[in-house]
Structure 1
Amino acid sequence: MRKTGYEGRTQISLVSLEELVPGEHLVRQIENAIDFNFIYDLVRDTYSEDTGRPSIDPVVLIKIALIQCIFGIRSIRQTIKEIETNIAYRWFLGYDFSQPIPHFSTLGKNYVRRFRDTGLFESIFARVLEEAVKHGFVHPDVLFIDATHVKANANRNKYVKELVQEQSKKFQDLLDDEINQDRIAHGKKPLEKKSEVSMKEVKTSATDPESGLFVKGEKERVFAYSFHTACDRSGFVLGVKVTPGNVHDSQMFEDLLGEVARNLSTPRAVAADAGYKTPYICRTLLKEGIRPVMPYTRPHTKDGFFRKYEYVYDEYYDCYICPANAVLSYETTNRDGYKMYRSDPSICQNCPLRDRCTESKDAVKRISRHIWAEYVEEAEHLRHTEGSKQLYQKRKETIERVFADLKEKHGMRWTTLRGLKKVTMQAMLVFTAMNLKKMATWLWKSGRRINRTHALFQYVLQIHKNSHCF
């Protein structure tokens, strides 16, 4: 039986970090994937050239933040402790055995004072994505869009109730114009715009007022932020928008789609869940020549009653025909953009199917139809095609996988910062880390070596070994 002594603890060896970091370590793959020197140009305006004390290398500050995000370390304080004892992390930063690692507060103060409102993290995200596009890894022809809720750093029981103004829909002016056009076409007077401002009561967090109360069913009520995200079929994140948790997913769809189209290209198809299956989104996609890939939505009719699809719409006569072959004629178009169709009570009074049609005491059946309903119907027709079925099945492999990795592997089940700007910064760093990790791994597996620093170190190391320096 052999016993190992403890002499190795005090043994002095002449060795370099380059020798000790495994050849397949992730930090080597990342260093090979991208040259971080582009960061100097992004932060040049925030540093003085000839005054003040010597600063910490900004690339080191960004790399420390990336280490935290890539390896899912819970806090920046813990990240500094890990770097102090981890040889691979020191190698990644360019620090030797004896150099002191920056204090954790240094990073926080730089992010708050120096990098705040500079768009630095969005620029880094864009640069990493640009490199992935350059290598042919990104395929923006099909977008997978969804949103996930990340719990805010706030106590859900500490809040105040406030009256806030209801935000009008971005497309409200367009909708109002088409409503009035439809009313005029039916011989109705156009509606005047509302002069009164609608108010609603909301619960605002006393800890993080910029977060929003997220309600899911009867059990889950937390203050949270929404990460609205778009990715491609390979799982590369192409666009991100961060909002309070009480902002509906569909409200940020157009902004997210526009960002991806500006930075990359207009996709040929967009896959999204049922929360995005609204008349305006379907209209926007089809008008732009983009194929909407959306799921089946279950009707909300009571059991035992006819479903809405059992009432046939006649486009030529602009009316509905009920299962008893009676006509529901146009009645009006309301402010929400719905055209109302009304049955004849004298016919419905003695109809044998009345019990399955309506519970109205005056024997009247009404059906609503949005003025953009034809776009939703077209999206529903495309749902049955084989191409749409295959694309929708890929959601679980793409956008759902992105959110799973975001929370499980990269520590974003809840935010560690407070305020929309800081949380946005944190989100951009994590998504940058995810894209960078994927790109670095794929480049390494393909055998492509982009950064020459590693090869130079190996060359120098070999010279020293050949000359018996070690």
Structure 2
Amino acid sequence: MITIQRDQLEMITLDQLVPPNHLVRKMEAAIDFTFIYDLVKDMYSEVGRPSIDPVILVKLTFIQYTFGIRSMRTNMAYRWFLGYGFHDKVPHFSTFGKNYERRFKDTDLFEQIFCRILMTAANKKVISVEHVFVDSTHVKASANKRKFEKKIVRKETRAYQGRLQEEINQDRENHGKKPFPPDKFDKEETKAIKESTTDPESGYYVKDERTKQFAYSFHAAADGNGFVLGTIVTPGNTHDSHILEPLVEQVIEKVGKPEAVAADAAYKTPAITSYLFNKEITPALPYTRPRTKEGFFRKHDYVYDEHFDCYLCPSGETLKYSTTNKEGYREYKSPKQICATCSFLSRCTESKDHQKVVTRHIWQAYVEEADHLRHHQEVKPIYAKRKETIERVFADAKEKHGMRWTTLRGLKKLSMQAMLTFAAMNVKKMATWTWQGPKMA
């Protein structure tokens, strides 16, 4: 006969219920969360009803983002981490949301928490900043893709726009052309977009015929050990290449200048390569396929002569410099009369006036140097580590930390989610790496 002992009285502590190697023990040992008191001291009043302990509030969010829990509702498993006993009342799941609206909304609290955790990891010597890996991922917005308005908006100004304008005018003067007047660059450029009526700050993202949705882009930079060093959130229709420069600047400010930056083909642009070389940072970028129409000569079939600043076409004719446009591209044009009778014309151009135009960006030399460097034995292994670092970060964030989609709306709240998700991932990794094991009595 089975003896049932479910009503037996036991004397036990909550500490005994937490396994010796549980992740919450490792996190508690890795970082002292009391630093939060200094960050929020100006956000609380000294009079009135006692508020929920801010460390408890932040620890609640770390439980949520570390274990990928969608709701703020907690259970007995996490009481130990919060410092609660068996019978202590856990804050209502809406408490953090209310405190966010009343206290944290317009502050940089979450960025400060992220930076403090990063600083702690650096002090523990677990961050390797020599090589930085940059990428982005889309997070599905909490918005119906069928509810939108079509709008005409101004194109965003790029970080390098001022530098580019100066060099365009300098290049035109070097070629005997008049520099563009300021109003030529200041002319407002617009684009047509779909704006969600549910979450206007999200961006309409089209990947293929099946993937069309409103989303946010989470841009991040990771080190060689997979620690996230910086993050920026943008609407989902923002091109990756526009964010690399501010993201690398963020990394330089927080942990120092890297020796090399690795990124995928979306970042292989004249602006990015020039920025990295001018910062004395080695770009580790991939091979990109030619985008020439099938059956036509490719760009590399036209040979650039740097000394005479011209191109030579496959038939040996010279394409001379014509102008530098306001996008920063030099235009080289072929002689119309000779091209009209050329046997290669059908493979060269479909232009009605039989003139071939080849463009070359004023920063193209930086792209060519980056292409040359990707063959070096020192650079090849850096790019290969992307799959072990930044790609792994995003895979883990989506699979284990609830980042496939969001229930929040607006850039500020999504920035908070990104900061807390990556901060939780950094704490988790740091806690695992620095764990010394349970102390023996």
TM-score (norm 1): 0.90
1:155 aligns with 2:144: yes
Could you tell me how far 1:421 is from its partner in structure 2? 0.7
TM-score (norm 2): 0.96
Could you tell me how far 1:137 is from its partner in structure 2? 0.6
1:60 aligns with 2:56: yes
Could you tell me how far 1:4 is from its partner in structure 2? 5.7
What residue in structure 2 maps to residue 45 of structure 1? 42
Conservation of the 8 A alpha-carbon contact between 2:164 and 2:328: yes
Q: How many residue pairs are counted as aligned between the two chains?
A: 439
- Secondary structure (helix, strand or coil) at the match of 1:377 reads helix
Pick closer, same or farther for the CA change 1:371–1:104 going to 2, 3 Å.
same
Pick closer, same or farther for the CA change 1:321–1:25 going to 2, 3 Å.
same
What residue in structure 2 maps to residue 141 of structure 1? 130
Amino acid at match of 1:110: N
- Secondary structure (helix, strand or coil) at the match of 1:214 reads strand
Q: Could you tell me how far apart the structure 2 residues matched to 1:61 and 1:353 are?
A: 71
Amino acid at match of 1:65: T
Q: Could you tell me how far apart the structure 2 residues matched to 1:39 and 1:169 are?
A: 35
Q: Could you tell me how far apart the structure 2 residues matched to 1:112 and 1:11 are?
A: 46
- Secondary structure (helix, strand or coil) at the match of 2:86 reads coil
Could you tell me how far 1:167 is from its partner in structure 2? 2.1
Deviations 1:192-220 (A, max 9, x none): 23354233322111111111111213332
Amino acid at match of 2:306: E
- Secondary structure (helix, strand or coil) at the match of 1:223 reads strand
1:266 aligns with 2:278: no
Q: Could you tell me how far apart the structure 1 residues matched to 2:142 and 2:271 are?
A: 34
When Rg is computed on C-alpha atoms for both structures, the one with the higher figure is: 1
- Secondary structure (helix, strand or coil) at the match of 1:204 reads strand
1:291 aligns with 2:287: no
What residue in structure 2 maps to residue 390 of structure 1? 381
Q: 1:26 aligns with which of 23, 27, 30?
A: 23
Deviations 1:232-289 (A, max 9, x none): 0100000011111111111111111111101111111000111111111100100111
1:188 aligns with 2:159: no
Could you tell me how far 1:177 is from its partner in structure 2? 2.1
Q: Could you tell me how far apart the structure 1 residues matched to 2:293 and 2:137 are?
A: 30
Conservation of the 8 A alpha-carbon contact between 2:159 and 2:245: no
1:117 aligns with 2:113: no
- Secondary structure (helix, strand or coil) at the match of 2:292 reads coil
Structure 1 spans left out of the alignment, 5+ residues? 460-470
Amino acid at match of 1:158: K
Q: Could you tell me how far apart the structure 1 residues matched to 2:294 and 2:151 are?
A: 39
What residue in structure 1 maps to residue 10 of structure 2? 13
Q: Could you tell me how far apart the structure 2 residues matched to 1:3 and 1:351 are?
A: 98
What residue in structure 1 maps to residue 414 of structure 2? 423
Q: Spell out the pairing of 1:317-328 with structure 2 (5 A cutoff).
A: 317-328=308-319
Amino acid at match of 1:275: A
Q: Spell out the pairing of 1:345-424 with structure 2 (5 A cutoff).
A: 345-424=336-415
> What's the % identity of the aligned pairs?
57
Deviations 1:26-52 (A, max 9, x none): 111111111111111111111122x11
- Secondary structure (helix, strand or coil) at the match of 1:122 reads helix
Q: Could you tell me how far apart the structure 1 residues matched to 2:104 and 2:343 are?
A: 72
Conservation of the 8 A alpha-carbon contact between 2:139 and 2:404: yes
- Secondary structure (helix, strand or coil) at the match of 1:432 reads helix
Q: Could you tell me how far apart the structure 2 residues matched to 1:96 and 1:116 are?
A: 30
Q: Spell out the pairing of 1:59-208 with structure 2 (5 A cutoff).
A: 59-76=55-72, 79-80=73-74, 83=75, 85-86=76-77, 89-192=78-181, 193-194=183-184, 196-208=187-199
Could you tell me how far 1:361 is from its partner in structure 2? 3.1
Q: Could you tell me how far apart the structure 1 residues matched to 2:173 and 2:21 are?
A: 70
Q: 1:35 aligns with which of 29, 32, 36?
A: 32
Structure 2 spans left out of the alignment, 5+ residues? none
Q: Could you tell me how far apart the structure 2 residues matched to 1:4 and 1:236 are?
A: 52
Q: Could you tell me how far apart the structure 1 residues matched to 2:409 and 2:428 are?
A: 26
Deviations 1:85-114 (A, max 9, x none): 32xx11111111111111111121012212
1:236 aligns with 2:227: yes
Pick closer, same or farther for the CA change 1:101–1:364 going to 2, 3 Å.
same
Could you tell me how far 1:387 is from its partner in structure 2? 1.8
Conservation of the 8 A alpha-carbon contact between 2:226 and 2:393: yes
The root-mean-square deviation of aligned C-alpha atoms, in Å, is 1.6
Q: 1:305 aligns with which of 282, 296, 304?
A: 296
Q: 1:435 aligns with which of 410, 426, 430?
A: 426
Pick closer, same or farther for the CA change 1:304–1:259 going to 2, 3 Å.
same
Amino acid at match of 1:314: D
Could you tell me how far 1:347 is from its partner in structure 2? 2.2
Q: Could you tell me how far apart the structure 2 residues matched to 1:23 and 1:246 are?
A: 46
Amino acid at match of 1:129: L
Could you tell me how far 1:383 is from its partner in structure 2? 1.1
- Secondary structure (helix, strand or coil) at the match of 1:387 reads coil
Q: Could you tell me how far apart the structure 2 residues matched to 1:353 and 1:240 are?
A: 50
What residue in structure 2 maps to residue 256 of structure 1? 247
Q: Could you tell me how far apart the structure 2 residues matched to 1:22 and 1:169 are?
A: 51
